[in-house]
Structure 1
């Protein structure tokens, strides 16, 4: 079981960004994508999640045999796709606890309700594992949060929603070393044979804490090289210029 992306072409406006991308993310594995600015890394994550600004012009995305491109955004989420944003949005007036509870409720059969006591017990346990103050349950989603607090909140949402496939779009962006370690520990706690991860990052440092099974290099809208964790070290040393599509 996996997410399989075949010959994916996509654009925003008149600008083509993905130019025949192929990728498979099996359950039980952590795949990292690295690449220069403008290569299409964040575009890929948003297209998988269903962002309306991007148009897929050809190619396919399947998740466990289902056609992802035929699903609405909420259907993709309920099917098991989770996206942790590079820049999480603030949602004034909606508390963290109510936001996560509403997301979980939307996945239940009609007429079924969440047990409040069990919900808060689970929520608090996961917050404790992320070193999050329990007062954050009553605060509006990401409003007034620091960069590190927003990223922890994204990981908390992921832990509560328990997705089949988690996509982390530069979750390490803006984090100091302590916050990076805590966020990484949260991700590592969720590693499972029943869950696949796609970790998008510029930097090797995140992969010191979240050990990938496979590393891909994305350049000019295509995967141009795939290897093991040692590939990230090679990129740290040599950069990306020698891996541009024209040189492959």
Structure 2
């Protein structure tokens, strides 16, 4: 579903990704772990199409929800989103003056239009939003507030997972979604990811520093990213080994 081959990328002339190769099949959840500065967030930004990141070599093939093969790197960020790619940020941004409900309805209907689908009415959208907010234990009153303004770290992450549930992407790249979460919020977010994205036609690339999120989001494979490329791949036990031994031993 997502095939990354020999990907090289840099920012401001500094090489970050150095020959990264990775493949995630439909129905799979893959976790990426690695030390600070290894290139985990850079990988997420490159896949999402963030400006400033230059791909100097390699390719990324993405299979959209209708089975079409796409050259992901040739698409603009909004085209990637319309094709079914979702990027979850480590630090979700605040958007003063724009309510969550307004933002999410416009985003969803823009994607539906790009796919040739009819827009949802106000009533249809509110029903969908209420359902997804309930899944993440987020009060609907929170969705009436401005996007992330005045939200705690945990509320921002839960609101972002509600956004993912509403947009219903084919593939999610989640950059340190567990960052800033307490124990209860971690469980809610982890279970939400499983409920929304664990399906035969979907895939997840979950970037995390710690094994704790993987207690709730069960990965099919765990990859260790170091020095700009994947250096070790294994099952869930690899994350447990990493927790016990540290990066120096596992990613040597």
TM-score, structure 2 normalization: 0.94
Residue 139 of structure 2 is aligned with which of 125, 133, 139? 133
1:59 matched to 2:69: no
Residue 74 of structure 1 is aligned with which of 78, 89, 95? 78
RMSD between superposed Cα atoms in Å? 1.2
Query: What is the CA distance between 1:111 and its match in structure 2?
Result: 9.3
Query: What is the CA distance between 1:112 and its match in structure 2?
Result: 3.9
Query: What is the CA distance between 1:137 and its match in structure 2?
Result: 2.1
Q: Is the 8 A contact 2:32 2:205 kept in 1?
A: yes
The 1:124–1:8 alpha-carbon spacing in structure 2 relative to 1, beyond 3 Å, is same
Residue 13 of structure 1 is matched in structure 2 by 12
Find the aligned partners of 2:240 and 2:74 in 1 and give their Cα distance. Answer: 38
The 1:111–1:180 alpha-carbon spacing in structure 2 relative to 1, beyond 3 Å, is closer
Q: What does residue range 69-218 of structure 1 map to in structure 2 within 5 Å?
A: 69-109=73-113, 112-190=118-196, 191-218=198-225
Q: Deviations over 1:191-243 (max 9, x none)?
A: 10111000000001111111101000000101000000000011011111134
Q: Is the 8 A contact 1:219 1:243 kept in 2?
A: no
Q: Is the 8 A contact 1:224 1:243 kept in 2?
A: no
Residue 238 of structure 2 is aligned with which of 228, 231, 244? 231
Residue 41 of structure 1 is matched in structure 2 by 40
Find the aligned partners of 1:125 and 1:79 in 2 and give their Cα distance. Answer: 24
Q: How many residues align?
A: 244
Secondary structure, in 3 states, of the residue corresponding to 1:122? Answer: helix
Find the aligned partners of 2:191 and 2:250 in 1 and give their Cα distance. Answer: 31
In structure 2, runs of 5+ residues without a counterpart are 64-68
In structure 1, runs of 5+ residues without a counterpart are none
Find the aligned partners of 2:109 and 2:225 in 1 and give their Cα distance. Answer: 37
Secondary structure, in 3 states, of the residue corresponding to 1:21? Answer: strand
Find the aligned partners of 1:113 and 1:181 in 2 and give their Cα distance. Answer: 33
Range moving further from structure 2, 187-196 or 111-120: 111-120
The 1:60–1:117 alpha-carbon spacing in structure 2 relative to 1, beyond 3 Å, is same
Return structure 1 stretches of 4+ with deviation > 2 angstroms. 108-113
TM-score, structure 1 normalization: 0.96
